[in-house]
Structures are given as structure tokens and as C-alpha cells.
Structure 1
Amino acid sequence: MEGSLFYWVLWLFWVYITFFMDKQNRYRTKLAVVTLLVIILSNVHFVAAGFEFYASGLFLLILSYLILSKKKLGSLLYSFICSFILTISYVTFNLFVIYDPVWVIFQKEWMMGICFSILAILLQTTLKGRLLIFTSGTMHGEIFYAIYLNKFEFSYPVGTIAYLDVFALTVLLLVSWSILENAGIYYQNHLQFLAKGKQKSS
């Protein structure tokens, strides 16, 4: 069912952030509010400049702009390049689905989620950076894809629940990868600490 992945993942995130995340974390309230707003706005849509937009996607795009605007010029330029790479990848993927659907060997949402997760991981080193370039890049891709289809008089709503499914899946994959990365660092440091302790005791 379209949208089920999005709602399950976002509600799980919201429950974790609200009830299980460290209350001293300065991002806790902001993350909970943003997650809840994305869920609430997911069915809100409107028409502007001849295109149909869903509010959740635009909210995420504006939020990514606000966060990116706080970066220094060099970091901002690199983020823009990374976002542009994801935009081109997103549009290309969707065009391949139209013109040559045979190569879509399993569910489209999973293919997109895995591909964009790998790209974001290769382009950025932090979870925050990966989420920012993924969100801005894919939303730009949605807009450019809608403009391209409009030339052939096909309507394509931007930021639909289908896009949010891909968004939720990719966020889940990126968060899971970040946990694995940090777990590796934690165990490496923990083992080194134990090794030093044994050396001192001997």
C-alpha cells in the first residue's frame, strides 16, 4: 500500500525521538516537531504555476535551504555540487523507468532508496550532510522531472506520498548506516581501552 512505508518509518522515528531519545539532546524537540509536521502535511497539496505540489516535500526542501544557508561558502558550494549530482541521478532514474522499465529488477522504491543512500554516503561523511543533500537533491529532481513531463502535457504532482515512501526508506537506510559506523568506532575505542587496561595490569 502506497504511503505505508512512510507512515511506519516516520511514526517510529517520532516515538523514538519523543520517548526514548536523551532529554538533554538539544535537537530532540526540533526533530520531534519536524517529524510530526512532515506527517501532518503529507496529504496537503495545492496548485502553483500550473504544477501540483504536496506540502511535506516543499517543507523539507525549505528546511534544507535554511540549514544549508548557515554553512560557510566553501562547504555550501560542495553541498550544492553534491545536491546537483543527486538531482541528476533522480531525474535520470525516473526517465529510465519510463523509457526502459525492464532494468527495474525489483521494487522501484527500494532501488531508489538503495541507490540514493549509496550516493549520499559516498558524497558526505556525516548523517546531517547526507540527509541535507538527499532531501534538497531529490526534491529538485522532483521539480525538474515535473517540468520535463509538462513539456509533453503530462501532469506530475511534486512530493507525493510515493516520493515520501522513497524519502522515508532512504532516511531509514542512512540512519542505520550511521549507527553501524558509530558502533564500529565505539567498539574499536572500547577494545583499545580494554587492551591498555590489560597491559597496565600485567
Structure 2
Amino acid sequence: MKLDVIKLDGDKAGSVDLNEALFGLEPRADILHRVVRWQRAKAQAGTHSTLGKSDVSYSTKKIYKQKGTGGARHGSKKAPIFRHGGVYKGPQPRSHAHDLPKKFRALGLRHALSAKAKAGELVILDSLALADAKTGLLAKTLGERGWKRVLVIDGATVDANFALAARNIEGVDVLPTIGANVYDILKRDTLVITKAGIEALEARLK
């Protein structure tokens, strides 16, 4: 698969041959779904917590005598049956993460890249190098390209001026190659990868 390479100003800067094993697969929704679920479950805070019978603050004194009241037998006011009593088997802090094989995660990344390429939402950029870290100037440039919701992937490191300028632009995410992931790729409308990013991705997923 061959794609044109452009500069930030929109001028052509040659072309690049993309690896079919990374960008030429037929995207499978089931694979993408499993990897996204794994990512989101891993990111879930899991801080939900309820007070059980032993956690609520009440006296442990028997609330009324055992016999002769005509009512049901009760002891502690902390019982879940009472208002403000403890919660029975309520949620407790835990990790929601589950295992997913490393090879399957890599396969999901290949399918995400292929999905963007097939949809025509993949752009190859010559370089992210900027002379100055000017947010307004970069926002104008991205607007001229029509990139409103975009993920930009650079090589091993991201150009410092570009990262600084893009940091406060809504809808723009910037990642080094090692941070490339299925969820972020699918979340944005356009995927922009530099030539250095392509080489690094091929090395990572070979």
C-alpha cells in the first residue's frame, strides 16, 4: 500500500510504502472490541465502596428484648434490614483489569491501524518539527488541514515544540510510538503518523 507523505503546510513530500501486515488487514470488530474492553477495564478506578455491617457507626446494644414485643427478633441496629444499616455484599474497592495475551493486543493494534487506512482516515506526515511552540499558529494549521479530532503519532520521542504547542488544543492528542494504542486510535476521526512513527511502529509490531 502506497500513500502520499505531506508536510504540515500541506505540500507533498514524496510517498511511502506501508506494510500490508500493519495497514492492509481486513479490520475485525470483535478483535477491536476485546482490546478496547481490556484497555477501559484496566483504566477503571475501582474505588467504589460501601459500608458493611461491621463498618457502620451504631451501638451494638440489643435494640429491644428478645421476647414479648410481638415483633421479630433483632439484635444490632447495624443489620442490613434497617435504615442506615450496613450494606450486604456491596461493592468494595477492586481492580477491574483482566488478562489479554500480548500477541492479541498487538493484533488489535494492527487492526486499528488497518481500519484507519481502509476508511481513508490515515495521514502520513513528513515531520512534526516546529520552529516555535506557538499554539495559535498550530491550531490554525491543523484547522486548514481539516483535523478537528486527531491523534498524532511521532517516533520514539515527540518534537518538543509540537508537543508544547498542541497541549492546549481541544481534540488533538499527541503520542510517541510506544504510546500508540487501539482506544486512542479509534477515538479520533483522523490518525496522523510521521515517517519516523511508521518506522518505529513497524519495528514494534514486526
TM-score scaled by length of structure 1: 0.25
**Rg larger in 1 or in 2?**
2
Higher fraction of strand: 2
TM-score by length of 2: 0.25
Q: Which has the higher helix share?
A: 1
